[in-house]
Amino acid sequence: MTVKKFLLLSTLSLLFIPAFGNGYTPRVTIIATGGTIAGIAPSSAGTFYDPAQLTVGALMEQVPEIRSKASITGIQLCNIASQHMTTEIWIRLASVIDSLFSNDLCDGIVVTHGTDTMEETAFFLNLVVPHDKPVVLTGSMRPSNALGADGPANLYNAVCLAASPAARDKGVMAVMNDYIFAAAEFTKTHTVNPHAFESPGRGPLGIIRGGIPVFFRDPGPMHTVHSEFSIKHLHGTDLPPVGIVLSYAGASAVPVEALIASGVEGIVVAGVGHGNYSLEIEAAIPGIIARGVLIVRATRILCGGVASDVESPFEGQLTSGLLSPQKVRILLMVALTRYRDPDNLQRIIDGYQ
């Protein structure tokens, strides 16, 4: 065998060596934030429960099988119902994740989280965590002691995903009910059913089968290590304020004016259809733009989004593309830490679909 052929075969063989080989046990850190997965109900068959009761240690004890998949450590970041999530907690969470990865303390991270705002936290992390190691959010639709509790299986699957070499450079993901979702794409579509999440119009990234992640496709390219934003460059404990207003038949502009009075730098209008406004909101838009407040035209519809060339009589308006109102709000808040001009902001929105 020639040296050239030997080097070629050696190089090709390296391409197929798993990142975790030679008996190496991947290290996964579980960061707990509360939610239904940590909830306790007075009756296992009832619908009422108290969220955010169990600690990260208790969650880990419920699923001893995770220790067969990885070396597990736990951090209790907070213990809240996710409707009480804040941007300050997001920044703390992203900073902890960045520190763990930067200091090579783990190979993957699972964040247990309430389902109400899971998609928002995942998307924020997707924008600002500058690492290619997997970050996986999971939670549950039923409390920990409910009949048919879904939390243990979701946590097990999340650890399997976070421990997998195949999950590298996939951006921040969520695992619920066996399905793997991309942070920019998924949303909660049911209030109580365990199959509560979908990626409308795009479908899941993959599925967990017998503890093994199977990917159908890749996420969009602008995420985590490829993002132009980083938690390392976000200063302080808050982000520029951006609000959301819902349009509907006969919608008043009073909520828009109230947001402006509160000092917001941008407003996302979740319009009807292809991002359309009521007459009163439409009449208020030119004055809002003239006052220097950014307007993003979005839609309350799950599929289709708002195209950048949608007919509009107003200059200086931004459009959301395929991002939901809640996600384009987060992107605008993060983008406003670097940019103010509409052209750059629209470029950012278009790139992070």
Residues contacting residue 107 through CB under 8 Å, at least 6 positions apart: 20, 26, 27, 28, 70, 133, 162, 163
Q: What backbone torsions phi and psi does residue 69 show, to the nearest 5 degrees?
A: -105, -25
Structure tokens at 275: 């991002």
Structure tokens at 165: 């070499």
The answer to whether 266 and 317 are in contact (CB under 8 A) is: no
In the set 29, 36, 115, 299, the catalytic residue is: 36
If one counts every other C-beta atom within 10 angstroms of the C-beta of residue 350, the result is 16
If one counts every other C-beta atom within 10 angstroms of the C-beta of residue 308, the result is 15
The answer to whether 320 and 305 are in contact (CB under 8 A) is: yes
Taking Cα atoms as reference points, which of 204, 208, 238, 200 lies closest to residue 219? 204
Number of H helices, E strands in the chain: 9, 14
36 is catalytic: yes
Question: Which residue in this structure is represented by tokens 């939610």?
Answer: 35
Region of 148 please: left (phi>0), alpha (psi -120 to 50) or beta: left
Q: What backbone torsions phi and psi does residue 79 show, to the nearest 5 degrees?
A: -145, 85
Structure tokens at 111: 């964040």
Query: What's the longest Cα–Cα distance across the chain?
Result: 79
87-102 and 118-128 helices, crossing angle to 10°: 50
Residues identified as active-site: 36
